Amino acid sequence: MMVLAGAGSGKTRVLTRRLAYLILSGAASPETILAVTFTNKAAREMRERVLELLGLDAPSGVAHRFWIGTFHGMGARMLRQQGKYLGYDPDFTILDTADQERLAKRICDESSFDHKYWTPKRLINHISRWKDDGITPDRLDEVNEREFLNPGDKTRVHSFYQSYQESLMRANAMDFGDLLLNCLELWRRHPDLLAHWQHRFGHLLVDEYQDTNAVQYRWAAQLADLHKNLCVVGDDDQSIYSWRGARLDNILHFKDDFPDVTVIRLEQNYRSTGNILRAASELIKHNQGRMEKSLWTEDDDGRKIDLFTAESSEDEARFVASEIGALCPLGDFSRAAVLVRASRQTRAIEEGLMRQGIPYQVVGGLRFMDRAEIRDALAYLRLVHSARDDVAFERVVNVPKRGVGQVAMAKIRAVAMQESVPLLEATRRLVAAGGISGKAKTALKDFVMLIDEARQICQLESPAMALAHLLDRSGYVASLDGHEKRDEKMDNLAELRGVLVRSESLTMFLEETALVTDMHESGEPSPNRVVISTLHAAKGLEFPYVFLVGMEEETLPHSLAVNEGAEGLEEERRLAYVGITRARERLYLTHARKRWMYSEPTFPMPSRFLRELPAEVLEDRGPKFSVKFGASGSIGLPSGGSRPFGGGGGSPRFRLR
Give pLDDT tens digits for 492-536. 888 788 888 878 789 888 887 777 644 344 455 667 899 999 999
Residue 492 sits in the same domain as residue 610: no
The pLDDT, as a whole number, for residue 64 is 67
In sequence order, which residues have a C-beta less than 8 Å from that of residue 190 and are 6 or more positions away? 82, 85
> Is the predicted pLDDT of residue 640 greater than 60, yes or no?
no
> Is the predicted pLDDT of residue 649 greater than 90, yes or no?
no
How do residues 173-188 score in pLDDT, each as one tens digit?
A: 999 999 999 999 999 9
- Tell me the whole-structure pTM to 2 decimals: 0.80
Residue 363 Cα distances to 294, 357, 492, 513, angstroms: 30, 19, 19, 19
The pLDDT, as a whole number, for residue 338 is 96
Is residue 37 part of the annotated active site? The answer reads: no
> Is the predicted pLDDT of residue 163 greater than 70, yes or no?
yes
Number of domains in the chain: 4
Average pLDDT of the residues in 99-124: 89
Is residue 571 part of the annotated active site? The answer reads: no
Residue from 12, 119, 165, 356 carrying the catalytic annotation: 12
Nearest CA among 180, 252, 172, 165 for reference residue 216: 180
Domain span including residue 25: 2-85+190-266
Is residue 84 part of the annotated active site? The answer reads: no
Is residue 582 part of the annotated active site? The answer reads: yes
Residue 19 sits in the same domain as residue 159: no
Pairing outcome for strands 595-597 and 600-602: antiparallel
Helix (H, G, I), strand (E, B) or coil at 596: strand
How do residues 112-122 score in pLDDT, each as one tens digit?
A: 888 888 889 98
For residue 626, tell me if it sits in a domain: no
For residue 544, tell me if it sits in a domain: yes
Residue 369 is given by DSSP the state: G
437 C-beta neighbours (distance < 10 Å), count: 10
Please give the angle made by the CA atoms of 401, 406 and 411, to the nearest 5 degrees: 115
Identify whether the C-beta of residue 441 lies closer than 8 Å to the C-beta of residue 364. Answer: no
For residue 280, tell me if it sits in a domain: no
> Is the predicted pLDDT of residue 626 greater than 50, yes or no?
no
Is residue 488 part of the annotated active site? The answer reads: no
Residue 405 sits in the same domain as residue 461: yes
Residue 407 sits in the same domain as residue 438: yes
Average pLDDT of the residues in 136-140: 90
Q: Which amino acid is at 501?
A: V
How do residues 185-223 score in pLDDT, each as one tens digit?
A: 999 999 999 999 999 999 999 999 999 999 999 999 999
Q: 557 falls in which pLDDT band (50, 70, 90)?
A: very high
Where helices occur in 433-534 by DSSP H, the ranges are 438-460, 463-473, 476-479, 486-502, 506-515
Residue 149 sits in the same domain as residue 165: yes
Residue 527 sits in the same domain as residue 600: yes
Identify whether the C-beta of residue 289 lies closer than 8 Å to the C-beta of residue 567. Answer: yes
Residue 31 sits in the same domain as residue 162: no
For residue 288, tell me if it sits in a domain: no
Identify whether the C-beta of residue 173 lies closer than 8 Å to the C-beta of residue 76. Answer: no
Residue 397 sits in the same domain as residue 326: no
Average pLDDT, the chain: 86
The CATH number assigned to the domain holding 156 equals: 1.10.10.160
For residue 154, tell me if it sits in a domain: yes
The CATH number assigned to the domain holding 425 equals: 1.10.486.10
How do residues 432-441 score in pLDDT, each as one tens digit?
A: 998 888 889 9
For residue 106, tell me if it sits in a domain: yes
Last residue of a domain, one of 171, 199, 233: 171
- Distance from C-alpha of 532 to C-alpha of 542, rounded to nearest angstrom: 13
How do residues 261-293 score in pLDDT, each as one tens digit?
A: 999 999 999 999 999 999 999 999 999 988 888
Residue 470 sits in the same domain as residue 422: yes
> 557: cis peptide before it, omega within 30°?
yes
Residue from 131, 382, 539, 582 carrying the catalytic annotation: 582
Is residue 11 part of the annotated active site? The answer reads: yes
The residues with which 306 forms a beta bridge, in sequence order, are: 588, 619
Residue from 16, 82, 238, 309 carrying the catalytic annotation: 238
Residue 550 sits in the same domain as residue 483: no
How do residues 51-98 score in pLDDT, each as one tens digit?
A: 889 887 655 556 568 899 999 999 999 999 999 999 999 989 999 888
The pLDDT, as a whole number, for residue 623 is 62
Average pLDDT of the residues in 22-42: 91
For residue 150, tell me if it sits in a domain: yes
Residue 476 sits in the same domain as residue 441: yes
Residue from 11, 131, 395, 489 carrying the catalytic annotation: 11
For residue 376, tell me if it sits in a domain: yes
The CATH number assigned to the domain holding 533 equals: 3.40.50.300
Q: What DSSP assignment string belongs to 532-551?
A: EEEHHHHTT--EEEEEE---
Q: Which amino acid is at 94?
A: I
Residue numbering of the annotated binding site for ATP = 5-12
Residue from 96, 101, 178, 207 carrying the catalytic annotation: 207
Residue 558 is given by DSSP the state: B
98 C-beta neighbours (distance < 10 Å), count: 15
Q: Is the dihedral of CA 64, 69, 73, 79 positive or negative?
A: positive
Residue 81 sits in the same domain as residue 228: yes
